[in-house]
Structure 1
Amino acid sequence: MRKSLIFLPAVPLAVATINASMLEIRKVMRWGREQGLPADLGLWDQEDWHEAIVHKASQVEGAKTVAFHVTAIRRLRQLAEVITGISPFDDPWGDETAEAIGAKEYDEDVPCKDTLATPSIPPETWWPLLRGAWTYIHTFAPDIFRWRNHFAQQREPRPDTPLSTSARPTPAENTDTLLEEWLSAPGNAVPVHEVDYQNTKAGTPMWTALSKMVTSGRTMNIFGSNNTSSRPQKRRAIVLAAIGEGRVAIATAGVGRGKGSTAPSYIAPGTGPGVTQEQLDDDVRRWLADPSTLVPVHTTDDHGKTGEPIWAMAARMIWGPPPLGAHRKRYAKRFDPRQRTGAARMRLLRQAVAAGRGLPVDLGVGVGWRAYRLECRDAAHIQREDGTSEPWRTQISAIELTFELHMLRAAVYVFVSALTLMRDSEVQEIQRDAVRTYFGSPAIVSRKTKMDPARPELHWWIIEPVAEALAVLEELSWHSTHLFVALAPPTGKQTHTEPGIQSEAEIDFFINGVNTIAHQHGLAKIPPAHVRSHMFRKTMSQLAGREPDSEIALGLQLKHAARRSFANRTTQAYAQMDASWAKEFDTELQQAAARKLVDLLRGRRQGERVAVGPGAARLHAGLDKVIATIDNDPQLRAQIADERVEEALLADEFPNLHLGTVNHCMFDAPQAECQDELPEEQRGLAPLIGACQPARCRNSTITRAHAPYWVAEEDDLTALSKDPRLSPPNREAVFVRLADVQRITRALEEEGTA
């Protein structure tokens, strides 16, 4: 690279950026083949490159996408010297920036180029997606964690489970320490042979028995003479020194093959007097005493075992996993019909099955005890569509629990991504104890990674439900630092512990999962839609963008750089409303307007004149029509106390009502004064708020709630009209405006109740 005079930045590009650049180059090459251009991109003329950019601009939305295309070509030009099959070529655009090229080539006739190609998530998908995620986080998570702990106990060895002599070798350093501690104990003595035995002379230490005593049965050869290491010899020397000090226990034995030895011997825990048959019986009775316990039984098979308890699975549930090595057979005999105690325990389980406490388990799926279904008596209750309340789960197996744990992790990712406006990489960089206080408000601390090699630690403000979601994820994650990791730590030969998940697969898994179990868990189905992490930022931005003075807050939350204290044009592009959400908000406003009219409807029913202004007669006529509709329909009259009925009728009667601070507008384009200020082709779409004439327009109505604003404006205009500094034209304009305002205030005074 240096020989070709190519010097790249010390900090390499992100893999995602490199991959995206390669995809752009592939598109350029494909377009070139279609145009019959040379396969060697270095042989293209400058006009060819300009045509390629023009073609790109016609295929995408947004100048920034075109600019990235230009940047990818420039990266290719930089490396052309060392790429086979591409001749070096000059920059087709000289010193012009990629942003300027994208803005120029995208569409010079469009006055605003600050749009995003990123689509938003449709509202019909957005709302059930968030509600489903929050239900998992807030309602289902406590149950999922409780069941996880229960099944974890089935995987953990019981304290009385014997260890195999071949299980988990002890490190050499720890073995030396164990030997020193054992010899330092006052009551311990080295067992030695009393008489000669085969090739062993009397007085020789019993090395195998001593190994078991020192390591609690883990190994029998810590003094092995065939070991190439010097440690066994050193350990033998230590033991012989102890014998020289008189620390000896002579093992008496009979003549011949050594039967009848009374030498000290190692007794594995769980195989001697420590675990009696009575204790095993008590374990079975204690397990069956729990009313939620169901005995696993065979389903239909070819051996006539239908309804018969699955003894190995029941043993695991009572005593934990079976041990390894020689003690496994002894464990299996705890349910042995040939032994009196084993047969008695089997009768207890069969009696429970006969009493209706059997649970069929299909072992054909090849998962053994993990197919056992636990009774979920304390599961959270959910509201069904028919108004009934039921547990969201009645039974669950270890296999199904793995699915629910995955759904919970996916729910947290969806919820946090949607409500924080963080990028995918920033969400996945969240670590433990990430919830802080920032300028007096709760916030998440994470790292901004996009195009910033320094990876600064930044803050994103959050609401309380997001903090709850992260608390759930902290309990779910096993990783020491990061939260979004694999569901289980690596085991065996697996060594990969890097944090991170595949966000695309996670989102798809959650949506598909909800749609699969929606009818069981009481969730609403999510309409199929393409949902990705960057679409959460766009959707939430346009929702937040409707709030007053939202641009600055959005710019800070989105981490958009700005050279002044206002958000830049990128933030405005994120907050730009699309058609699907505009319709959603129109419906919401229509319903809000109907709710506002309910009080006016009840006042009108009492005979009041509830509004004044040029449009008051239309409003009164519409309210009277709704009242007549209710009075003439017995079914509607019976539901007069139900506001939802009134809201529905009012929404149909006033579909274009726009609520305002100083008046309400029953928008009818031909009568609207504001439409006269617009070009002919733009009229009739929506009210023009800035050109509203509330005292003159026949669409305008003023209610009692608006009166304080009109009275205050009358006082201000009256005081202003007395200012001697006003010029005659300005004074005349004030008097004209004052006359309009007084027309309304006088009407409000005359109506009294209006």
Structure 2
Amino acid sequence: MFADDELVLQSHPLIDGVEVPLFGRMDMWPLVATRKPANVAVSAWCAPFTGLEGVWNLRAREVAMVLLNPRHPAVLAAGINRKARPASVSTVFNAMFLLRHLASWAAGRGLSADLAEWQDDDVRAWVDHRRGELSASGLVGYVSAARLLHQLGPVLTGGGLARDPWRGQSARQVVDLPVDKTVRTPNIDPQVWHALVKAAWTYVHTFAPDILKARARAIELEQAAIATAAGLEARVDQYLADPDNIIPLHPPRYLVYCNRHQPGEFGTELEVNWSFLGVLLGIRREQRALTTLTGYRSHVGRARAKILQAVREGRGRPGGLVDSYATVTRPDGSIGPWHPGLSPRGVREECVTLRAACYVMVAALSMMRDSEIREITRGSVVEHYGASAVASMKRKHDPNQPREHWWIIEPVAEAIAVAEAISRHVDLVFSSDVGGGVNGESVDTEAGFKSGQMVSRFIERINDRSEFTGLTIPEGHVAPHMFRKTMAMLTATEPSAEIALGLQLKHAATRALANRSTQGYMATDTTWAKLLDSAVDDIRFTRLREFYDDYHSGKAIGFGPGAERMMAAFDTIRRTAQARQGDARVEYDILRKTRISIRLGKLNHCMFDENSPAGAKCLEEAIVPEGHRGPLVDRCQPGRCANSVIGREHLPIWKAEQHSLLTLLDQPKIAPCRRAALQNQLEDVKAVIRKAES
């Protein structure tokens, strides 16, 4: 059906100047002529045929050709009607893996290479022998791969399977995989989550300035070096003549790690970082490999002796790129620098750790997928509808692969800026440092790392250096896709979270509400519930104590019936404490035990009491869902409810709403009924503002 000199990519947008493989190539088809996602390795962006011999090799290439070009004239002429959208390269890669496995299994069973001779039980046996090794979801691909050999039979040389072995059954039914709308991704354990985000933010906000400063210094020294070691002894004399010049030393822990010697046996000769000292003397990297300060020539020996004498005189210092470091509190309670001393090698290691910290911050707090994070390019932090956002490419479930926007907070924007500063890729923010140097001369063309491995190594690095940084992360499984699920679950506690999450997660919706996928992400987690309840209670009491202090210092805490009830409760607490001759601590203890009901909000605070709900406007003429306790937040009427407390901190939002309503009413083409509704709403807003300012 297909000619050996036929291009295998006929249905994809292609990158100019990149070679497209021909159908006759039998080892593999590199498909880099079509754009590769940043989080996929080059080795996986191909159709591999290794391990497939004879007719199986041709058969696999024909299957790959159809998957990549479903509307090929030969395919349509054969009566095969597939979806117009070609399969992704990842799908083709996986299909070739499964066909290679099937060919190997068939050879071991002594089955003919002619599929027409196979029985239905032969194909079923291939799937069944994997049931004990794979989950039901993993077996779905095996069923689909086998069915391809029947569906594409008209275009396969020698034909395909005569029948579908599972006629009338879906792949899910074959492997007993029920339809489950819940999201199976687990949440990250709360203790791990907090420690991980804290460590990442500490690196991004506190350690990054030192790392970037050391990196810039290393680049400056390397670029100023020359490709000769001539006049080595004179250079050493000139360097040592300046008393401010130090001799860089290896940190003791590095020497132990490299098995240079045992703890407590440090020798001056081994402690000196001779490679970095060569940089400080102006000798370029390639020349230092030929002529080193540890050689045996006479002039080298004299230079080395002078350096070792300087070390004995106290001029040695670990690292040497940075004079001072940010201080941290260590596990033993001591306070000191977070790093023992950065050298060029240490900078490269810390840049990898810093890149991982930036990734964790973005993954944990933006709800972006790994593929979307890895597609972030330079200059992608923009303003979107008045708020900071990051633009990236959305690939999943979207053939158009549009540029989308995810709203972010300032720490995430800072993490992206830091990642951009250390990236050596032309466009991508999250790229590897493969190539070793920090001089910026070699630039990667691919991202070149696995996100899951990067997160795991970040945790290992943090725990391995906790005695310096004071940071530790408890044991627990963490994968990139778990960040998105965990943050969505946490956000679900906010009113109207379903709509907000649908927008941020980029889930398709046919209504104003998010779809079932979003609801699955919002599912509660028992491991987080107790912690969240405690955190909310602590925040609520802290704010209540602030109200208490403000009220008794003569400051206004707000207005409305709810505020009056709160002030009456505060007076009772003060009188009770005075009767007991107690101090402020006694008052706070009584305040906590009083359990004043308050829900803090952006438009107002709510004093709704579940034991006495009378007067709550949100419950009037409302259908309360079975089992629901508390106010119906979406029906709140702050200006009219007996439970409402409106303070001065709420006024800017109310005034903004007043301005918005006045702007709408200035429009001449508003329908009379709509104008009347807006006018009533404006009167309510004005009444709230007047009371608050009176």
Shorter-normalised TM range: 0.5 to 0.7
Separation in 2 of the partners of 1:546 and 1:534? 20
SS in structure 1 opposite 2:163?
coil
Q: CA deviation at 1:155?
A: 5.3
1:356 aligns with 2:303: no
2:239 counterpart residue number? 283
TM-score between the two structures when normalised by the length of structure 1: 0.54
* CA distance in structure 1 between the partners assigned to 2:335 and 2:251 by the alignment: 29
Q: Do the aligned residues in 2 keep the contact of 1:296 with 1:313 (CA within 8 Å)?
A: no
**CA gap 1:428/1:313 in 2 versus in 1, 3 angstroms:** closer
Paired position in structure 2 for 1:503 = 451
Distance 1:468 1:630, change over 3 A: farther
- Quickly say closer, same or farther: Cα 1:488–1:314, change in 2 above 3 A: closer
User: Equivalent residue for 2:475?
Assistant: 528
> What residue number does 2:149 align with?
79
User: What's the CA shift string for 1:46-88, capped at 9, x where partnerless?
Assistant: xx9xxx9xxx9xx99xxxx7xx987874564233367999762
Shift of 1:408: 0.7
Deviation for aligned residue 1:423: 1.1
Structure 1 SS opposite 2:401: coil
Instruction: Give me the whole-angstrom Cα distance separating, in 2, the residues matched to 1:332 and 1:517.
Output: 30
Aligned partner of residue 314 in structure 2, secondary structure: coil
Is it true that 1:316 corresponds to 2:278 in the alignment? yes
How far the C-alpha of 1:488 sits from its partner, in A, is 2.9
Q: Residue 444 of structure 1 contacts residue 462 of structure 1 at CA under 8 Å; is this kept in 2?
A: yes
**Which residue in the other structure is 2:518 paired with?**
571
Contact 2:540-2:599 at 8 Å conserved across structures: yes
Task: Name the CA distance, whole Å, in 1 between partners of 2:538 and 2:278.
Answer: 59
> 1:590: Cα distance to partner?
1.3
* Residues 450/323 of structure 1: CA separation in 2 closer, same or farther (3 Å cut): closer
* Structure 1 equivalent of residue 545 of structure 2: 598
Q: Read off the aligned partner of 1:78 and give its amino acid letter.
A: L
State the one-letter code of the partner of 1:282.
Q
Alignment correspondent of 2:6: none
**Corresponding residue for 2:188?**
121
Question: SS of 1:481's equivalent?
Answer: coil
CA distance, structure 2, for counterparts of residue 603 and residue 490 of structure 1: 59
Pick aligned residue for 1:134 from 197, 201, 221:
201
Q: Find the aligned partners of 1:145 and 1:449 in 2 and give their Cα distance.
A: 32
Matches within 5 A, 1:586-735: 586-598=533-545, 623=573, 627=577, 637=583, 640=584, 650-651=591-592, 654=595, 664=607, 686-687=629-630
Q: Is the 8 A contact 1:375 1:394 kept in 2?
A: no
1:559 to 2:514 alignment: no
State the secondary structure of the residue aligned to 2:328: strand
* Letter aligned with residue 281 of structure 1: D
2:416 counterpart letter in structure 1: L
TM-superposed CA distance for 1:292, in Å, is 7.5
One-letter amino acid of the structure 1 residue matched with residue 456 of structure 2: D
1:477 correspondence with 2:423: yes
Equivalent of residue 442 in structure 1, options 363, 380, 388 = 388
Residue type of the partner of 1:132? A
Given residue 148 of structure 2, which amino acid in structure 1 is its aligned partner? Q
Q: TM-score, normalised by structure 2?
A: 0.58
- Return the offset for 1:426: 1.3
SS in 1 for 2:388: strand
Instruction: Tell whether the 8 Å contact from 1:119 to 1:535 is kept in structure 2 after alignment.
Output: yes
**Counterpart-to-counterpart distance in 1, 2:94 and 2:597:** 46
In 2, are the aligned partners of 1:593 and 1:651 still within 8 Å (CA)? no
Asked if the contact 2:390/2:406 (under 8 Å) is kept, the reply is: yes
Computing the radius of gyration from Cα coordinates, the structure with the larger value is 1
1:158 partner letter: A
Check conservation: 1:157, 1:320, Cα contact below 8 A. Answer: yes
Asked if 1 retains the 8 angstrom alpha-carbon contact of 2:392 and 2:403, the reply is yes
Aligned-partner Cα distance in 2 for 1:460–1:692: 29
Q: CA–CA distance in 2 between the matches of 1:692 and 1:69?
A: 48
Residues 605 and 325 of structure 1, relative CA distance in 2, 3 Å threshold: closer
Residues 312-345 of structure 1: CA deviation (Å, up to 9, x unaligned): 558624434478799967x869996x56x974x5
Q: Match of 1:654, as an amino acid?
A: R
RMSD, matched Cα: 5.9
Equivalences for 1:305-344 in 2 at 5 Å?
306-308=267-269, 313=275, 316-321=278-283, 343=302
1:161 aligns with 2:116: no
Equivalent residue number for residue 252 of structure 1: none
Counterpart amino acid of residue 129 in structure 1: L
Decide whether the 8 Å contact of 1:616 with 1:702 is kept in 2.
no
| Gap change, CA 1:378 and 1:475, over 3 Å in 2 | same
* Counterpart residue number, 2:47: none
Is structure 2 residue 342 aligned with structure 1 residue 381? no
Q: Structure 1 residues 701, 496: CA separation in 2 closer, same or farther (over 3 Å shift)?
A: closer
Offset, 1:351: 3.9
Q: Which runs of structure 2 are paired with 1:179-194 in the superposition (5 Å)? A: none
Distance 1:471 1:615 in 2: 48
Q: Which amino acid aligns with 1:284?
A: L
8 Å Cα contact 1:416-1:469 kept in structure 2: yes
CA distance in 2, matches of 1:150, 1:8: 58
Tell me if 1:89 matches 2:164: yes
Per the alignment, residue 393 of structure 1 pairs with: 339
Matched, 1:583 2:583: no
Identity %: 30
Aligned to 1:410: 356
Write the deviation string for residues 237-284 of structure 1: whole angstroms up to 9, x where unpaired: xxxxxxxxxxxxxxxxxxxxxxxxxxxxxxxxx5xxxx6976663233
Instruction: Return the offset for 1:352.
Output: 2.1
Alpha-carbon shift at residue 425 of structure 1 (Å) = 1.0
In 2 relative to 1, CA 289–464 (structure 1 residues): closer, same or farther, beyond 3 Å?
Answer: same
Aligned mates of 2:89, 2:321 — CA distance in 1: 47
Q: Once the 2 structures are TM-superposed, how far is the Cα of residue 583 of structure 1 from its aligned partner?
A: 2.7
The whole-number CA distance in structure 2 between the counterparts of 1:693 and 1:473 is 43
Q: Deviations over 1:479-529 (max 9, x none)?
A: 2122222223389xx998422421111111122222222342132x22222
Give the equivalent residue in structure 2 for 1:518. Answer: 466
Instruction: Report SS of the residue matched to 2:377.
Output: coil
Quote the Cα distance in structure 1 between the aligned partners of 2:122 and 2:588: 68
* Partner SS, residue 541 of structure 1: helix
Q: Are residues 474 and 601 of structure 1, via their aligned partners in 2, closer, same or farther at CA, if it must alter by over 3 Å? A: closer
- Output the amino acid matched with 1:510: F
Q: Aligned partners of 2:288 and 2:204: how far apart in 1?
A: 46
Residues 449 and 276 of structure 1: is their aligned pair in 2 closer, same or farther, counting only changes over 3 Å?
A: closer
**Per the alignment, do residues 629 and 482 of structure 1 end up closer, same or farther by CA in structure 2, a change over 3 Å counting?**
farther
Q: Secondary structure of the equivalent of 2:465?
A: helix
How far apart, in 2, do the equivalents of 1:596 and 1:276 lie? 68
Change (3 A) 1:612 1:279: closer
| Alpha-carbon distance change, 11 to 487 in structure 1, aligned in 2, over 3 angstroms | farther
Contact 1:604 1:623 in 2 (8 A): no
Q: How far apart are 1:656 and its partner, in Å?
A: 8.0
Q: Is the 8 A contact 2:563 2:645 kept in 1?
A: no
Q: Which amino acid aligns with 2:215?
A: R
Deviations 1:638-672 (A, max 9, x none): xx37xxx9767754663987668675356569999
Given candidates 4, 10, 13, the residue that maps to 2:87 is 13
Cα 1:418–1:602 shift into 2, 3 Å:
closer
**Unaligned 5+ residue runs, structure 2?**
1-61, 63-74, 102-118, 154-158, 651-694
SS of 1:40's equivalent? helix
Query: Could you tell me whether the CA contact under 8 Å between 1:544 and 1:550 is conserved in 2?
Result: yes
Does the CA contact (< 8 Å) of 2:310 and 2:316 recur in 1? yes
- Taking the aligned partners of 2:145 and 2:332, their CA distance within structure 1 comes to 61
Q: Which residue of structure 1 aligns with residue 674 of structure 2?
A: none
